[in-house]
Amino acid sequence: MFQMEWEEVRKEMVVEKGLAGDVADKIGGYVKLQGSMDLVEKLSTDRALMDVKDAQAGLQEMKVLLRYCQLYGVLDNVREWYPWDMYVLLIW
């Protein structure tokens, strides 16, 4: 899935996995987001996402990870080596 274009991923989710098209489109909106702590903060204000306990926990863990990266002076390296976009996090 990592190397696929979004439309291919969407088709797989809807046709092969049976996910509703509108749900796949909502996921697609998240998948296209990129950022670092700014993205985590933005997602933390998303009411729909915050209604999901696993999402809350995941965002909290991402905040902690990014804070440690910043404290150890490697945040820029992490961004360079592993781009923080939701597509990567979705399949991770």
Residues 72, 43 share a domain: yes
Cα 27 from chain centre = 9
Residues 73, 55 share a domain: yes
Instruction: List per-residue pLDDT tens for the chain, 92 residues long.
Output: 455 788 888 999 999 999 999 999 988 888 878 778 888 899 999 998 899 999 899 899 989 988 998 899 988 877 666 555 555 555 44
User: What are the C-alpha distances in Å from 26 to residues 29, 69, 71?
Assistant: 5, 30, 34
Q: Which structural domain, as residue segments, surrounds residue 52?
A: 35-83
Of 57, 53, 78, 82, the closest CA to residue 67 belongs to 78
Q: What pTM was computed for the model? A: 0.68
Asked if residue 1 belongs to a domain, the reply is yes
Residues 62, 24 share a domain: no
Asked if residue 7 belongs to a domain, the reply is yes
Cα 60 from chain centre = 13
Residues 13, 41 share a domain: no
Q: Would you call 5 helix, strand, or coil by DSSP?
A: coil
